[in-house]
Amino acid sequence: MSDKNNNAPQLDPGVDDAWVSVIRKMDEAYADLVHSQVEVEEKNAELQENKQFLDSVQSSMSDVLIVCDHLGQIQQVNRALEMLTGKLGDQLVGSHFTDLVDPRFLQKVNGLINQVRVQPVRDCEIELQGVDGSVPLSMNCSPRKNHRGRLVGMVLIGRPLGELQKAYIELNSAHAELKLAQERLVQSEKMASLGRLVAGVAHELNNPISFVYGNMHALQRYTDRLSQYFDAINEGQSRDKLKEMREELRLDKLIRDLNSLVAGTMEGADRVKEIVNDLKQFSSTQESEKTVFDLTHVIRTALHWIIKESKQPVEVIDLIPSDLKAVGHSGQIHQVVVNLVQNAVDAMQGCDQQCLTLEAESFNDRIEFKVSDTGPGVCEEDLSRLFDPFFTTKPVGQGTGLGLSISYGIVSEHGGELRILNRDEGGAMAILVLPTEEVSNV
């Protein structure tokens, strides 16, 4: 043995060192390999996690998702598309996405593919062939680019239109109902304003009617007396007798009275006609052409009726110039003025001093009409809400809160302005600006 050992070739120490270094290098390489393996496994786990996350996001999407390459071949889909088409993802991947499209929409889809090269396509309505027939979808289509910005495909996301359409129809019918309710409210507000005026109008009509009635009574008595006299003439009574009768029946005074009785009756009838005309104007619902109208008359009629009906001791300062002309619908402006004056009168209810001032000034292109009162004014926090529909501080049943909101609409439609402010000296002031006849392009 020992011989053998002794005869064994002796290794050069330099060769030993080489081996050691080779083995060390191998150890190091192996350690690196193990390290890389661990890293790869960690990355794999991370990738797996990311994939699961993306899968779960995709499968919980209710919109359908189709990812294609630049030729339109499907690379990925989500569960919503699988459900819609009744096919599994594996069956869909690799097919051309136009295979899913209802043939009636193929042309549109081809256009879409070309368009998406230039810019994303939004809300394009197409139909896909679903498991139970065609399904309309609103499609958004975006280009997919690689890291160098080159187009490599596109991403299509579609929302089934059934739901959108249902929501749209519901929205539409809710809107129509609201519009109808609004129209009814506008009309009922108009009727309410009209109702407030009815008592005033009744008073107003009463005056000329009782006047006409009284005159007719007098005329009836006069007719009796005249008949007696003419009968006597017919019977051939003597001159003296006729003279006596004439004095007894006071025929000379009667004849002097006749003219003024007839004139008075005519005046009364004219007044009735005027009132009826004003009323007709106010209650008219049909939209007529805008015309030049007498704003002074409109303001005075509104004022007159409200004050007549009001039981409050209101002092009125009327500084309105005569013959102011504005352009628009006189009936509608009447409604606005009624509301402004009524609001001012209502605001002063119970106040010691109740003074209503009406002023108007005419400028080149407009008229400014102001209604001031000596009421409590409007609280700061309410100022911005006055024109809101249904905003009212009046007790239930005494105000709908629509007066100013409707007035605002009418005035805007006339190309005018309506403002309410508090006066420094107390009370509120409503300012109505209306175009004059010079700007008849409203």
Ligand X SMILES: Nc1ncnc2c1ncn2[C@@H]1O[C@H](COP(=O)(O)OP(=O)(O)OP(=O)(O)O)[C@@H](O)[C@H]1O
| Sites of contact with ligand X (CB under 6 A) | 189, 339, 343-344, 347, 373, 375, 377-378, 386, 391-394, 399-405, 420, 428
Residue 394 near which of ligand X, Mg ion, none (CB within 5-8 Å, type-dependent): ligand X
Whole-Å CA distances, 236 to 222, 230, 233, 245: 21, 10, 5, 13
Residue 85 tokens, joined:
């088409």
Between 265 and 372, name the residue whose CB sits nearer to ligand X. Answer: 372
> Distance (Å, rounded) from C-alpha 300 to C-alpha 373?
17
| Helix, strand, coil distribution of the chain in percent, nearest 5 | 55, 20, 25
Between 268 and 403, name the residue whose CB sits nearer to ligand X. Answer: 403
To ligand X, the closest distance from the beta carbon of 358 in angstroms equals 13
Residue 298 near which of ligand X, Mg ion, none (CB within 5-8 Å, type-dependent): none
Give the binding range for Mg ion (CB under 5 A) out of 59-67, 319-327, 374-382, 398-406: 398-406
Query: Burial code of 384-403, b = ≥16 C-beta within 10 A, e = fewer?
Result: eebbebebbeeeeeebbbbb
Residue 189 near which of ligand X, Mg ion, none (CB within 5-8 Å, type-dependent): ligand X
- Helix runs in 10-160, H state only: 13-60, 79-85, 89-92, 106-116
Number of residues this chain uses to bind Mg ion (CB under 5 A): 3
Residue 402 near which of ligand X, Mg ion, none (CB within 5-8 Å, type-dependent): ligand X
Is residue 403 close enough to count as binding Mg ion by CB under 5 A? Answer: yes
To ligand X, the closest distance from the beta carbon of 436 in angstroms equals 25
H or E stretch including 271? helix 251-283
Is residue 301 close enough to count as binding Mg ion by CB under 5 A? Answer: no
Paired with 368 in beta bridges are 361, 433
3-state SS class at 312: coil
Between 84 and 338, name the residue whose CB sits nearer to ligand X. Answer: 338
Between 127 and 309, name the residue whose CB sits nearer to Mg ion. Answer: 309
Between 98 and 422, name the residue whose CB sits nearer to ligand X. Answer: 422
Between 78 and 405, name the residue whose CB sits nearer to ligand X. Answer: 405
Considering only residues 301, 310, 343, 374, which one is a binding residue for Mg ion as defined by CB under 5 A? 343
Matching residue, tokens 């786990």: 45
Between 65 and 302, name the residue whose CB sits nearer to Mg ion. Answer: 302
DSSP strand E in 373-440: where? 417-422, 428-435
Is residue 339 close enough to count as binding Mg ion by CB under 5 A? Answer: yes
Q: Helix and strand tally (H, E) in the chain?
A: 12, 12
To ligand X, the closest distance from the beta carbon of 422 in angstroms equals 9
Name the strands in the sheet holding 121-130, side by side, starting at the edge strand that comes first in the sequence. Answer: 74-77, 64-69, 151-160, 133-145, 121-130
To Mg ion, the closest distance from the beta carbon of 406 in angstroms equals 9
Is residue 193 close enough to count as binding Mg ion by CB under 5 A? Answer: no
| Site residues (vs Mg ion, CB under 5 A) | 339, 343, 403
